[in-house]
Amino acid sequence: MRQASEGRETSGATTGGLLRYVHGRGGDKAVDELLRRAGVEATASELGDQSRWWSYDTRIALFRAATEVLGDPRAMFDVGAAVLRTGLAHSLVILLRSLGTPRQVFRQLPRVVQKFSTTSTMEILEAGATSATIRYRLHDGYPHSRLDCDYTQGLLTQVPQAFTLPSAEIVHDECQSDGHPACVYHLTWNRRSRLPWRRRADAVVDPELLALRGQLQILQSAATDLVASDDVDTVLQRIVARAAEAVLAPAYLLAVHAPDGGAPLVHGAGLAPDQLPALAQALLADGDIGPDAVVVDVVSARRTHGRLAAIYRAGDEAVGDESAMLAAYAGHAAAALDLIIALEKARTEAARAGALLHLAHELAATTDAAEVAELVTGALPEIVGCTSAGILMWDAATASLRSHSSVGLGAAAHELLQATPLRAEDVPELVGMLTSREPQVLRSETSSPVLRRLLEGLGTTELVAVPLIADGAFLGAATAGWRRGEAPPGLDGEVLARLRGVGDQATTALQKARLLYTVRHQATHDSLTGLPNRALFLDRLTAAIPDAHPRAHLGVLFCDLDRFKQVNDTLGHAAGDELLRQVSARLRSAVRPGDTVGRLSGDEFAILLPGLESPADADGLAARVAACFDEPFRLEGTEVSVGTSTGVAVLDEESTTAEQLLRRADVAMYRHKHRRRAPARG
């Protein structure tokens, strides 16, 4: 099978005409057999696309296979002679007819041939009113094929027929296949008879009329085809393909302004990818991409979309008024783009509305601030149309903004954002947001040094930041960013309005999450010390029981304060509260990182001790807890000594539930207290 990478040496007009002829003779089966024998990977549809070109080898392989399938050694002459009937480039027939006479056509023929092949050179040795002599040479490096020669002869005989004259007679005595330097063709044809009865006898359908009808059908088909497209990108691809039916050229270029104001949309055929950006820029700027191009505007009554160009090789040029033909397609293309852009906009707005509604539903079911940030960040690109997005939260302790979530960034950029707090003293834009509480439209080129370095590190050139304000308090900011050339115009307009709408939802959800966190915290924590209360302590103890095993024992330490009532009675309840806070701080400093200290009630505290290597380790921790009461507490300017009684219980077969384990520790604490109060025996 031939590889998909092909040289641009034979126009799709040639391969398409061949396949249409074979189909007319043998139907789909004949075409399928032709492709199989030729060994090409391309489909019949691809080979019939006039915007595509193929290698000389592919052309000869198709010619050879067609001859075998049709079983006719002279089949390629007939294929060439049938070009006017198989719809070969209707626009070309019209252009040839516009030249006036067969003599003028033959004089222009070398330029016309370049529209079909780049592997040969044609020279007109003589062109008269009823005869022409043509020299046709295949370039060095290409093996000459008699099939290609037959095809060329068939084509040449049809030039007079474009003017409703009989086909030309051809004499071919010198062929390159026989060792001659070139093929030489002598053609003669008859003038049209001036006798009325003779004209009626010889009357045939005017090829120009057929071409005009065919081109009208193609224009109508193009309009339907373009309007039926699903998206802008598909429309652009089809415009380029249809352009080849208007004007045969080695290359085409289409550049249109992006509907959202971003980078232009560019499609080309027959051009190297690295050529497209510069050519597209020049095409959109002033339409001047050199003398070897036909350029037309893609413009409708609503807007100017861009430009379409048919590009020739250096030294070649258009034949006749090809710009008018190309402009006809460009008009259909502009109308189709109007429709598709309107549909795309409607789809985008519907998607944004759906995304907003979905976000509202998700936020309504969310009670966690971190999840709120993730949901909002994930929704912003679709709602706002940005490249990247994020939520920055205000850290009052450090007076800085810190990233809580982001999307649309690479791994390195994400890490940079996470590691870069924005402090008010370093970022004037943040001071402006804190004071005015107004959104900021930021650009890397004009930002302060710290912010500029961050934006450049993120690959973001333009960014919109909306402050999140709740009851006058600054919570943070929602951001939407774009890479260079991708931002729509007027970021302070519709884009800002959408971002503000999402920011309002985020603020409401964050307020709710914070309120619920406060309520939950109050329900599960002691309001005086901030420690887990009895309910939360029991929940954590219950959750820890399944993880306990012989190498990771689970223990509970129970303790209460000695002389707590005396402190309340002598120094007051405020001093008693301060004592409980100081005790809480000392207990937290005495335990391990994974332990949980809880205040169960009054002056009673408990400590959850998971992962003990042995039950005896609990006694060591109890000793550390008791030691933290050695130093007196300072209350109301007075040093007060307060002791503690402790009890320890380790999970075993006798206590399998949280309540049982806590009760055993409580009992052990009372035994300890009783022993300390009992008088020593003499």
99-126 tens-digit pLDDT = 668 888 888 788 777 777 889 989 999 9
- Domain made up of 87-204: CATH architecture: Alpha-Beta Complex (3.90)
| Mean pLDDT to the nearest integer, 88-95 | 58
Task: State residue 365's pLDDT score.
Answer: 83
Residue 598 identity (one-letter amino acid) = G
Looking at every residue in the chain, the average pLDDT score rounds to 84
Predicted model pTM: 0.51
State which of 221-235, 318-332, 514-528, 531-545 shows the largest mean pLDDT: 531-545
| Mean pLDDT to the nearest integer, 213-228 | 51
Distance CA 364, CA 368 (A): 11
pLDDT at 455 over 70: yes
Q: Sketch the domain layout of the chain as residue ranges.
A: 1-72, 87-204, 209-343, 366-520, 534-677
- Domain made up of 209-343: CATH architecture: 2-Layer Sandwich (3.30)
pLDDT at 681 over 60: no
pLDDT at 77 over 90: yes
Q: What is the pLDDT of residues 333-347, one digit of tens each?
A: 777 777 777 777 777
Q: What is the pLDDT of residues 301-322, one digit of tens each?
A: 778 888 988 888 776 666 656 7
Task: State residue 652's pLDDT score.
Answer: 86
Q: What is the pLDDT of residues 120-157, one digit of tens each?
A: 989 999 999 899 999 999 999 999 999 999 999 998 99
Task: State residue 1's pLDDT score.
Answer: 40
| Mean pLDDT to the nearest integer, 613-639 | 90
Is residue 633 classed as helix, strand or coil in its secondary structure?
Answer: strand
pLDDT at 390 over 70: yes
Distance CA 259, CA 347 (A): 13
More confident residue, 173 or 48: 173
Half-sphere exposure of 149 (CA within 13 A, CB side): 23
Assign 81 a pLDDT band (cuts: 50, 70, 90). Answer: confident
Task: State residue 198's pLDDT score.
Answer: 43
Task: State residue 438's pLDDT score.
Answer: 87
Assign 30 a pLDDT band (cuts: 50, 70, 90). Answer: very high
Other CB atoms within 10 Å distance of the CB of residue 598? 27
| Mean pLDDT to the nearest integer, 435-447 | 88
Q: Residue with structure tokens 């007009």?
A: 13
Fold of 366-520: Beta-Lactamase (3.30.450)
Distance CA 492, CA 440 (A): 9
Tell me the helix, strand and coil percentages in the chain, rounded to 5: 50, 20, 30
Strands 633-635 and 638-640: antiparallel
Task: State residue 231's pLDDT score.
Answer: 63
Residue 267 identity (one-letter amino acid) = H
- CA distances for 15 relative to 44, 86, 311, angstroms: 9, 12, 20
Instruction: Establish whether domains 87-204 and 209-343 are of one fold.
Output: no
Assign 246 a pLDDT band (cuts: 50, 70, 90). Answer: low
pLDDT at 200 over 90: no
State which of 55-69, 269-283, 291-305, 514-528 shows the largest mean pLDDT: 55-69
Least reliable range by pLDDT among 71-80, 106-115, 310-319, 496-505: 310-319
Give kind and range of the element (H or E) at residue 606.
strand 604-612
DSSP code for 491: I
Assign 86 a pLDDT band (cuts: 50, 70, 90). Answer: low
554, 610 contact by CB (below 8 A): yes
**Top CATH class, 534-677:** alpha beta
Distance CA 585, CA 579 (A): 10
Count H helices and E strands in the chain, helices first: 22, 22
Distance CA 265, CA 246 (A): 22
- CA distances for 563 relative to 557, 569, 603, angstroms: 20, 10, 10
